[in-house]
Structure 1
Amino acid sequence: MDQSRQVFLVRHGEADYDRLSAFAPVYHGGRRDFAPLTDLGIGQAEGAAELLRDDRPEVVVASPYARTLQTAALIAARLGCELRVEPALHDWLPVRDGAASVTGEIVRQKIEEYEAWSRSGLLPSDRTWETDEDMAARVGEAVSRHVTPGPLVVVTHEAVIKSATGADVVDLASVHRLTR
């Protein structure tokens, strides 16, 4: 990735998971990723756009999840930017094999494994999830596919932004500069 290139990572706004409950069980589990933004989340996305206005980004690239797509669409519309979708900007996955059955218990177990690895540095040989280094590399590769003459905005998820920037805190709709 070009070190002089300006890349901003934005976490999506607040998602309205409660709105999906009327459609239960259709939107349980992984389908929660179809949740749109709350009214607060819409305001958060519009606020992120205002923070980016002076940087004059030309392209906004989003993870394919509804909360990131809606956040990115609001930012792109406010700033008059092109909007692109990048599947590689997905959230951290507890199980990378999309064909595998994933239950709430498996997700809890994988989060515990990830957190234990984060503390100890001991990587389980049978892990199914990405390390922070894996996610950072994935972000770098995704960003490199979106060549723009000006700044690029990437709308993605908390764990992805933490891995790429080293940030300890990534609030909803917060803006972070990618410096790697």
Structure 2
Amino acid sequence: MTTRLYLARHGATQLTAEDRFSGDIGVDLSDEGRWQATQLGDRLHEHRVDAIYCSPYSRTRDTARLIAERLGDGPGVDAIATRDGLREISHGRWEGLTRREVEARYADEYSAWEQDPFTFAPEGGESGVAVLARALPVLREIVTTHPDQRVLVVSHKATIRLLLCSLLGVDARGYRDRLDQAPACLNVLDFRDPVRARLMLFNDTSHYAGQPREAESNLSRWWDQGGGARQA
């Protein structure tokens, strides 16, 4: 068995441009995000896609729909299946705020989260562990349901990074600092069975960008300060 997973992040939103925490809140694709999704759809047009899954949020559903409209003989828009386990991580009371606003209002909480976002969660939010607890079973279900098929899965930045860490055996405590996921990027994973995956393509945006994006502000103090030891 070889199941190929096209794992894509949704297109850009206005909160993406403003670099705000936008996990568990409703936010629609921007004009740029819709264009990015159509470019990804055009890229996948010649590929055989047998099924499409996405999280229940409008930004992922619209991304999946725009891709599906360009898949030729692939599954149509009506065939898109939503799975709650694929939704984005919840940042609780941080939602909608910039990093600087969170640091100013909840300094101790933010410092603990920067140290270990995998096991720590802000008030009302989720840890990375909690995200994997709901997302990994969904991914396993998709792979076992579609042996020897090609499946498009549209999800979110943190959720995808955490899934990749788990599947590849990477320390998930560094998922925010060391793995990027650009809007409407494409990752390709081949599964020989439900738990053994090989990463074939990572964070690729060549369908709409001439080169990888520059690593600027990514809601990560560690990156913005040039790496090295984390600071409280």
Alignment partner, residue 169 of structure 2: none
Task: Percent identity, please.
Answer: 23
Partner secondary structure for residue 54 of structure 1: coil
- Aligned residue type for 2:52: V
Which aligned pairs between 1:74-89 and structure 2 lie closer than 5 A? 74-79=66-71, 80-81=74-75, 82-89=79-86
Is it true that 1:140 corresponds to 2:136 in the alignment? yes
Alignment partner, residue 93 of structure 1: 90
Query: How many Å separate the matches in 1 of 2:132 and 2:37?
Result: 23
Unaligned runs of 5+ in 1: 19-28, 96-101
Is it true that 1:50 corresponds to 2:47 in the alignment? no
Greater alpha carbon shift after TM alignment, 30-39 vs 75-84: 30-39
Answer whether contact 1:35 1:67 (CA < 8 A) is retained: yes
Aligned residues: 157
TM-score normalised per structure 2: 0.56
Alignment partner, residue 8 of structure 1: 6
CA deviation after TM superposition for structure 1 residue 157, in Å:
0.6
Answer whether contact 2:110 2:122 (CA < 8 A) is retained: no
Which aligned pairs between 1:49-68 and structure 2 lie closer than 5 A? 49-68=41-60
CA deviation after TM superposition for structure 1 residue 134, in Å:
4.6
Query: How many Å separate the matches in 2 of 1:31 and 1:170?
Result: 14
Query: How many Å separate the matches in 2 of 1:70 and 1:124?
Result: 31
Partner secondary structure for residue 45 of structure 2: helix
Alignment partner, residue 115 of structure 2: 116
Cα distance change of structure 1 residues 157 and 125 upon mapping to structure 2, 3 Å threshold? closer
Cα distance change of structure 1 residues 143 and 35 upon mapping to structure 2, 3 Å threshold? same
Alignment partner, residue 151 of structure 1: 150
Partner secondary structure for residue 7 of structure 1: strand
Partner secondary structure for residue 6 of structure 1: strand
CA deviation after TM superposition for structure 1 residue 54, in Å:
3.3
CA deviation after TM superposition for structure 1 residue 30, in Å:
7.5
Answer whether contact 2:24 2:90 (CA < 8 A) is retained: no
Query: How many Å separate the matches in 1 of 2:122 and 2:34?
Result: 40
- Aligned residue type for 2:61: L
- Aligned residue type for 1:66: S
Greater alpha carbon shift after TM alignment, 46-55 vs 79-88: 46-55
Cα distance change of structure 1 residues 89 and 126 upon mapping to structure 2, 3 Å threshold? closer
Cα distance change of structure 1 residues 56 and 103 upon mapping to structure 2, 3 Å threshold? same
TM-score normalised per structure 1: 0.70
Cα distance change of structure 1 residues 41 and 162 upon mapping to structure 2, 3 Å threshold? same
Alignment partner, residue 188 of structure 2: 177
Unaligned runs of 5+ in 2: 166-177, 191-196, 198-232
Query: How well do the aligned residues superpose, as a CA RMSD in angstroms?
Result: 3.3
- Aligned residue type for 1:55: H
Partner secondary structure for residue 53 of structure 1: coil
Cα distance change of structure 1 residues 164 and 32 upon mapping to structure 2, 3 Å threshold? closer
**Looking at both structures, which has the greater relative contact order when contacts are Cα pairs under 8 Å and sequence separation is at least 6?**
1
Q: Deviations over 1:137-178 (max 9, x none)?
A: 533311233323521111111111111224711100001123
CA deviation after TM superposition for structure 1 residue 90, in Å:
0.8
Greater alpha carbon shift after TM alignment, 29-38 vs 168-177: 29-38
Relative to its length, the structure with more helix (as a share) is 1
Greater alpha carbon shift after TM alignment, 4-13 vs 165-174: 165-174
